[in-house]
Amino acid sequence: MQEPEITEDLVASHGFTPEEYQEVLRILNREPTFTELGIFSAMWNEHCSYKSSKKWLKDLPTTGPQVICGPGENAGIVDIGDGQAVVFKMESHNHPSYIEPYQGAATGVGGILRDIFTMGARPVAAMNALSFGEPGHPRTRRLVSGVVEGIGGYGNAFGVPTTGGEVRLHSSYNGNCLVNAFAAGIVDADKIFYSAASGVGMPVVYLGAKTGRDGVGGATMASAEFDEDSEDKRPTVQVGDPFTEKRLLEACLELMATGAVISIQDMGAAGLTCSAVEMGDKGGLGVRLNLDAVPQREDAMTAYEMMLSESQERMLMVLKPAFEAEAKAIFEKWDLDFAIVGETMEEDRFLVMHQGETKADLPLSRLSSSAPEYNRSWVETPPPAPLSDVPEIDPIEGLKALVGSPNYARKQWVWEQYDSQVMANTVRTPGRGPG
């Protein structure tokens, strides 16, 4: 397949500012290939690089005597004593849920559950915080029903209890909903797994479901502002399969118990690109990928599509070579794909091969460490207006107004769609206080 010519319009459609693209040219000292342009776009967008929020996130406290793992890994870890730790992750899936409510919310749940068991923990609970527009807004009913159904559909089938959450409706969210998903898991403090690759010439292994064209460019979509063409972005929303993810959970935990795993990374935003780059960058290594070995569920996929696909229920792992046969047998037992798709390299290089051709040859560390970082202009929130005298109101009328507000109404219709007692460990169910 002939790759498209790199034009100003193509560059702009990948989310680059003119200055950012000039930095790409400076790093490479040449024009990028189409696949390389996609890789830079994926790694430098807001969703993966935090280029606008990183300045502020650095100010947050992230250390403490109980903190085992702070920001920078798949999930945070806090010591809870007795040789155990709680692993937790909270993440938003706002843009995908606004475009395609069911799958956007479902894959948000699936993504944070993978983040939990990537660290070696078994997920034990999930929660969510949802914000929608006014009840009378034309999109609100579809968004509420789709998001709630998606959360329940994925979490229930995967087999993790949804033990609590919140729902609110306000005009501020008419233009885009907020879908925040949370998951927690338990792990032995001496059996935690991290994503930094180590060792030169170690096999890089693809695990889980096959790669398709769903979610191609999803991270870039999630970093863009919405407009009247937002509905056209529906193909960039991922499609989840909770039953496959349940098998992936069991296969990963079984393999981790053998001592075969050097490092492991969830294929989330930007898929194969982000997982491979992050593993190599954290370990100070390069990565070579052979896309001919990537399991595919669609015909004639290009290197660009495979590198940017966000097909769900996939992992990337650096494996101890002696355990290859044992690892493959475990994943075949769970009816999941297992494929050696590359190896680690000593040099700072991200080399992507497909059908005998070099599709990308980039300095790996520059994809992560050289991502632009901005100090955006901002305006301080004005102080609230002084409180005026409270108007007199009939107490009964006031009570009716409170009771009649959707924000104070009982949310039983939401939590009854979630299985809150699967695994039989739930002490307090929704509606009775904190989960």
In this prediction, residue 229 has a pLDDT band, given cuts at 50, 70 and 90, of low
Least confident of 44-58, 152-166, 224-238, 248-262: 224-238
Tokens (6 digits) for 372: 């632009």
CB atoms within 10 A of CB 12: 12
User: What span, in angstroms and rounded, lies between the C-alpha atoms of 96 and 104?
Assistant: 4
Please tell me the pTM assigned to this model. 0.91
| Whether residue 225 has pLDDT greater than 70 | no
Element (H, E) at 145: helix 140-158
Q: 375-401 burial, b if ≥16 CB within 10 A, otherwise e?
A: eeeeeeeeeeeeeeeeeeeeeeeeeee
Pick the catalytic residue: 14, 47, 95, 354?
Answer: 47
Q: What whole-number percentage of the chain has pLDDT above 70? A: 95
pLDDT tens, residue by residue, 9-39: 999 999 999 999 999 999 999 999 999 999 9
Q: Is 47 a catalytic residue?
A: yes
pLDDT on residue 292: 97
Long-range contacts of 347-352 (CB under 8 A, 24+ apart): 347/286, 348/286, 349/286, 349/287, 349/288, 350/39, 350/276, 350/277, 350/280, 350/286, 350/287, 351/286, 351/287, 351/288, 351/289, 352/35, 352/39, 352/289, 352/291, 352/303, 352/307
Element (H, E) at 320: none
pLDDT tens, residue by residue, 415-428: 999 999 999 899 99
Which whole number is the average pLDDT over 236-256?
Answer: 93
Q: Are 164 and 434 in contact (CB under 8 A)?
A: yes
113 class by beta-carbon count within 10 Å (0-12 exposed, 13-18 middle, 19+ buried):
buried
Q: Is 93 a catalytic residue?
A: yes
Q: Are 205 and 338 in contact (CB under 8 A)?
A: yes
User: What span, in angstroms and rounded, lies between the C-alpha atoms of 216 and 210?
Assistant: 14
Pick the catalytic residue: 14, 93, 95, 354?
Answer: 93
Domains and CATH numbers, the chain: 8-58+194-370 (3.90.650.10), 74-191 (3.30.1330.10)
CB atoms within 10 A of CB 231: 10
